Structure 1
Amino acid sequence: MPTLIVLNPGAGEIQSVETATGFATTLVAGTGEVPDGVVVDKARGVFYWTNMGVPAGSAPGAALTEKTASFHAANGSLERASLDGSGRTTVLPAGSFVTGKQLVADFAAGKLYFSDREGLRVLRANLDGSELEVLVQNGDHTVPEEQRDILRHCVGVAVDPAGGHLYWTQKGPSKGGAGRIFRAPLAAPADPARRDDIETLWENLPEPIDLYLDLGAGEIYWTDRGARPEGNTFNRAPIPAVGEKGVAPTILASEFREAIGVDRDEATGAFYVTDLGGDIREVDPARGIDRLVATLPGGLTGVAVVR
């Protein structure tokens, strides 16, 4: 069975979790800046993660989580380490963006993609952090009224390099039922603040967070931390054709404690979903599996499968 790389900002650690036993070990200690999104580059033997940053006025070393802090300062960053946790390296230094959220990659093209929530953006950079560019810009994060407009906040992200599409979520207010999922061409626009090629695929969702694309099956999956019964769920729907709206999703698992991260074991088809309550669940609808892998002290954000 695979192992997982799990971000645990509540414990200030990045952990490796055995899916067969739930046993957790520390890969990176003292993360300190609320890690949120993670992606594994198996060919190069490394993983990357985004940091949300440290809110102004926070006590040094204080345990910070999504639920206990606000993230309006522009001090987000992106880091890399080997799969054993060694060689921790800064890829994009603190202040390169505001609040780093879900992180995905097109490793064939050497590109990282991630959402910048309070930065109101979706960003792309090379694996070494160079050529940082804005793909979507929902406002000016230096204007407080715009930055605090939660409807503008980008959270989840996914890419379809072959199809040339970028997908992202805007979760809306907490438990607000105003979440949306968008799609746009992957090519960098002339002006990311004035795109006229953005499709709204879903709207009025409880609170969609992280995304996963199964391009072979033509399906999109997402976590949702919104109000029950449609929220705090793991969902699946067909990817809409260009110009079409998404249909109502199928709920594959429910009763999460603020569902956040998701990744898939391509060998078995099983998904692993994390939540802010510290739970990791394995969800495999084809085999009728929905089991608790582990409950870890802290509060979990991103997750990535390693084989």
Structure 2
Amino acid sequence: MNAQNLPYQLIVLEGYKGQIIAINPNDYSSKILVGDEVGTPDGIVFNPNDNLLYWTNMGVDDDALDGYIQHCTLDGKNKAFTVKVGDTHTPKQIQLDHRTNYLYWCDREGMKIERCHIETGKVEVLLETHGMYLDEDIKNRQCVGIALDIKNNRLFWTMKGPPKSGTGRLLCAPFDYRDKNAVINPAKINVVYDHLPEPIDLEIDYKNDYLYWSDRGAEPDGNSLNRLQLSTLSKKEVLIRGFDETIGFTVDVDHQLAFVADYTGHVYQADLQTKEKKIIFSSEGGGFTGLIKV
């Protein structure tokens, strides 16, 4: 499970301490890129078109309308707002359509799926979920993770439900990324899986036809990395267990590795073939959220 000469660095968000940290996956050395975030940074993405990192911040109070999105250069400098404070509620995982420079994210307490163009920062609502599952707990209406299946013109997202409730859902819907006025049609939403422990972030692996997601729910199937076959939306598999409040992750398909971050302050390296995992970075008293490779 020794990983050497990996051609990227890991970028992880420290939600408790308000930091953005770069980790070298070859020797596990690290450096703090941004150390003064107020609130809770949650999702992060890299834009190769402008070489900027973009990340969501849930704000200081989940019940207040104080979320926002910022960006900076890869060295942590030139930090600025993309979406100003209060234009989104509690933004979670974020993704990028690099062809159009549109950012997409889930707004948890806002109960929405949203997007904006990086040049304007104007928030567009693609779906409001506050009217779904009205006979259930309000947290079952809250969106968390998101994945853009651009090749198949659809969008995936998770609704995790209350902590450790076993009422999480993985959903998808058709979406025309070429249409500047596109929205998600509620009548065409498909529940791919329900009664999941507590699904969080998502990532697509086109090369091997997988959709991956993290789950921070109760064992035996929670606190895990999971996947299913993307083309058929079947063959669900609990791939690796034993994390602790799993949130962010990224998959290296070429080296058959996954890097997983949890909210108790650990970053793991996991072998997708042997299922072995090890802690490569820790933050005492901290908690990690979003994780990408750049």
Q: TM-score, normalised by structure 2?
A: 0.89
1:126 corresponding residue in structure 2: 117
Within the candidate set 188, 197, 219, 1:228 is matched to 219
* Alpha-carbon distance, 1:296 to partner: 1.8
Structure 1 residues 180-226: Cα deviation after superposition (integer angstroms, max 9, x where no partner): 01101123798968621100000000000000111232211100000
2:287 corresponding residue in structure 1: 299
Secondary structure of 1:301's aligned partner = strand
1:252 corresponding residue in structure 2: 239
Residues 257-272 of structure 1 correspond to what in structure 2 (within 5 A)?
257-265=244-252, 267-272=254-259
* Alpha-carbon distance, 1:292 to partner: 1.7
Structure 1 residues 30-80: Cα deviation after superposition (integer angstroms, max 9, x where no partner): 10120000001234221100000111xxxxxxxxxxxxxxx1111110000
| C-alpha distance in structure 1 between counterparts of 2:250 and 2:207, whole Å | 16
| C-alpha distance in structure 2 between counterparts of 1:83 and 1:191, whole Å | 31
1:237 corresponding residue in structure 2: 228
* Alpha-carbon distance, 1:29 to partner: 1.2
CA separation of 1:227/1:171 partners in 2, compared to 1, >3 Å: closer, same or farther? same
The RMSD of aligned alpha carbons is 2.2
| C-alpha distance in structure 1 between counterparts of 2:181 and 2:119, whole Å | 24
**Identity over aligned residues, as a percent?**
33
| C-alpha distance in structure 1 between counterparts of 2:83 and 2:158, whole Å | 23
| C-alpha distance in structure 1 between counterparts of 2:257 and 2:104, whole Å | 24
Equivalenced residues, count: 282
User: Which of structure 1's runs of 4+ aligned residues deviate more than 4 A?
Assistant: 188-194
Q: Which stretch of structure 1 is more off in the superposition, 113-122 or 43-52?
A: 43-52
CA separation of 1:207/1:248 partners in 2, compared to 1, >3 Å: closer, same or farther? farther
| C-alpha distance in structure 2 between counterparts of 1:175 and 1:189, whole Å | 38
2:11 corresponding residue in structure 1: 5
Letter of the 1:291 counterpart: K
Letter of the 2:291 counterpart: V
1:154 corresponding residue in structure 2: 143
* Alpha-carbon distance, 1:261 to partner: 0.3
Letter of the 1:256 counterpart: F
1:75 corresponding residue in structure 2: 66
1:61 corresponding residue in structure 2: none
* Alpha-carbon distance, 1:248 to partner: 5.4
CA separation of 1:220/1:191 partners in 2, compared to 1, >3 Å: closer, same or farther? closer
Contact 2:173 2:185 in 1 (8 A): no
Secondary structure of 1:196's aligned partner = helix
* Alpha-carbon distance, 1:267 to partner: 4.5
| C-alpha distance in structure 2 between counterparts of 1:284 and 1:185, whole Å | 33
* Alpha-carbon distance, 1:256 to partner: 0.9
* Alpha-carbon distance, 1:131 to partner: 4.2
Contact 2:229 2:235 in 1 (8 A): no
| C-alpha distance in structure 2 between counterparts of 1:45 and 1:222, whole Å | 26
Secondary structure of 1:84's aligned partner = coil
CA separation of 1:206/1:223 partners in 2, compared to 1, >3 Å: closer, same or farther? same
Gaps of 5+ in 1: 56-70
Letter of the 2:202 counterpart: L
* Alpha-carbon distance, 1:251 to partner: 1.8
Q: TM-score, normalised by structure 1?
A: 0.86
Within the candidate set 167, 181, 196, 1:178 is matched to 167
Is residue 165 of structure 1 aligned with residue 171 of structure 2?
A: no
Gaps of 5+ in 2: 1-5
Is residue 199 of structure 1 aligned with residue 206 of structure 2?
A: no
* Alpha-carbon distance, 1:173 to partner: 1.0
